[in-house]
Amino acid sequence: MNDKIKILVIDDDDTGRDVLSMLLRSVGYEVTSAANGESALALIDRVQYHVIVSDLILPDSSGLDILRNVRKVAPATEVIVVTGHASAQTAVRAMKEGAFDYITKPIDFDELKIVVSNALEKQNILSENRYLRRQLQGRFEFNNIIGVSPAMNLVFERMNRIVKTDSAVLVSGESGTGKELVAKALHYNGTRREQPFIAVNCSAIPETLLESELFGHVRGAFTGAIKDKPGKFEAANHGTIFLDEIGTLPLHLQGKLLRVLQEHEVERVGSNKTIKLQVRVISATNSDLENMVKRGEFREDLYYRLNVIPLHLPPLRERQQDIIHLVAFFLEKQCRLMGRAPRSISKQALEALEQYAWPGNVRELENLIERMIALTDAAVITIDDVPAKIIGERPVGEALTVTLAKAGVDLVATISRVERELISQALLSSGGVKARAAALLGINRTTLVEKIKRLKMEE
């Protein structure tokens, strides 16, 4: 526990101060001492003490002054006052002004030990609470969704509007783009934040169980239904239900879901009693629901019910600017989680990450960072730590097929022609995705965009 707990002892009496310091040091605390108010205040300004033990009467000021000052500049520090004259009144004053406790002279060392350790315990609890609270708040605030790209700014703008409404939201995006993260952020920043957020992954539950999972069942409704069980919709009442992978919902359940959404009520499987509900629905899909509707695989009426507000999360390869911020965020987060010292990443390694196409999107990036931290102890992650798959294979030493004509050549124009040809091939094979095309060409996206502009290749 003693990761050097710092204690400041303030007493004008040399012997008293030395004895106190020695005793506290013998418990393992790091003790500093001051003989008057002025030097004490100078120390308090510079050092964050856990506990201050101060005599109430000092030559140049009083323990109360110190106390007031500490409350202002170091509110986390606990102050224990020592009173020589058993003066109950000043002790009470001190307590009122925010002292943790007081002890009377002559000091009983066992008492002091207990009071100090109580003060430390209180601090621990307080800072733990603060940490937990910050975690709970921080976890779902938009500021834990990293993104500075224009594409993500649009997402944030729309989210800001969504949190003020109660409409159904359909979050779409490729795997790992942050659909669940965004759904939670919408719930925990919205008016229902105090109410439950219930997630159901429609693709992870066997079809036969999904109906009862969503809507509940009564005893005897089917083999194995040994008692009444409320469904996720009931559990989410007044809050939000998050229907993940909604595209995998079988057609017969789509009909039932539509009724629940229209009537705002459910019937548990095997019962005809209706239960009124008030639930916000956020659903998510990584398949193209609109196409599924066209192909008759998803009910059109349900699609419109769910898709009152569409929220599309762009794939990571379309927001290359976010990568540096995500990398920094995950480096910090993973080092903290794994209890490792903070890391940084070399420019070269970062560029490799920026040029990769990230088919698994943010999740793939987060997993890679975690792996790289786990596999190396070095303070800086370098290109050598980046897997070959991500750096990609670069054609090296390809034979040049051009020859210099007798009449000479327009070098600049020829190079432009070669550039134009290779860029259009790269764009073609990457489906027009610039980040991927840039990776194929071994340049970064910005350079590619500049070249496209300079070569007048747009459209």
Question: Does 364 sit near Mg ion (CB under 5 A)?
Answer: no
Peptide bond into 59 cis (omega under 30): no
- Rounded CA-CA distance 69/44 in Å is 9
Which of Mg ion, ligand ATP, none binds 439 (CB below 5-8 Å, type-dependent)?
Answer: none
- Rounded CA-CA distance 234/265 in Å is 9
Question: Does 314 sit near ligand ATP (CB under 6 A)?
Answer: no
The residue nearest ligand ATP at its CB is 178
Task: Return the number of the residue (83 or 172) whose C-beta is nearest Mg ion.
Answer: 172
Candidates 37, 147, 247, 314; binder of ligand ATP (CB under 6 A) is 147
434-441 vs 347-355: helix crossing angle, rounded to 10: 120
Task: Return the number of the residue (112 or 284) whose C-beta is nearest Mg ion.
Answer: 284
Task: Return the number of the residue (337 or 428) whose C-beta is nearest ligand ATP.
Answer: 337
Residue partners of 147: CB distance under 8 A and separation at least 6: 153, 155, 156, 319, 322, 325
To ligand ATP, the closest distance from the beta carbon of 335 in angstroms equals 15
Take residue 312 and report the two structure tokens written for it: 């599309």
Question: Does 181 sit near ligand ATP (CB under 6 A)?
Answer: yes
To ligand ATP, the closest distance from the beta carbon of 234 in angstroms equals 24
Which of ligand ATP, Mg ion, none binds 448 (CB below 5-8 Å, type-dependent)?
Answer: none
Question: Does 180 sit near Mg ion (CB under 5 A)?
Answer: yes
- Rounded CA-CA distance 364/74 in Å is 43
Task: Return the number of the residue (215 or 330) whose C-beta is nearest ligand ATP.
Answer: 330
Closest by CA position to 168, among listed 313, 309, 311:
309
Candidates 302, 362, 386, 440; binder of ligand ATP (CB under 6 A) is 362
DSSP label at 345? E
Task: Return the number of the residue (145 or 282) whose C-beta is nearest ligand ATP.
Answer: 145
- Rounded CA-CA distance 258/136 in Å is 33
Closest by CA position to 169, among listed 289, 310, 314, 298:
310
Question: Does 123 sit near ligand ATP (CB under 6 A)?
Answer: no
DSSP per-residue codes, 199-210: EEETTTS-HHHH
DSSP label at 63? H
The contact mask relative to Mg ion for 332-361 (x = CB under 5 A, - = no) is: ------------------------------
Q: Residue 101 forms beta bridges with which residues? A: 80
Task: Return the number of the residue (83 or 285) whose C-beta is nearest ligand ATP.
Answer: 285
To Mg ion, the closest distance from the beta carbon of 235 in angstroms equals 19
Dihedral over Cα of 172, 178, 181, 185: its sign? negative
Residue partners of 366: CB distance under 8 A and separation at least 6: 326, 330, 334
Contacting range for ligand ATP; rule: CB under 6 A; set: 120-128, 176-184, 302-310, 338-346: 176-184
Question: Does 334 sit near ligand ATP (CB under 6 A)?
Answer: no
Place of tokens 């931290």: 373
Number of residues in contact with ligand ATP under rule CB under 6 A: 15
Place of tokens 């194929």: 440
Take residue 374 and report the two structure tokens written for it: 């786990």
To Mg ion, the closest distance from the beta carbon of 244 in angstroms equals 5
To Mg ion, the closest distance from the beta carbon of 362 in angstroms equals 11
The contact mask relative to Mg ion for 125-164 (x = CB under 5 A, - = no) is: ----------------------------------------
To ligand ATP, the closest distance from the beta carbon of 190 in angstroms equals 17
- Rounded CA-CA distance 127/116 in Å is 17
Q: Which chain residues interact with ligand ATP by CB under 6 A?
A: 145-147, 173, 175-181, 286, 362-363, 366
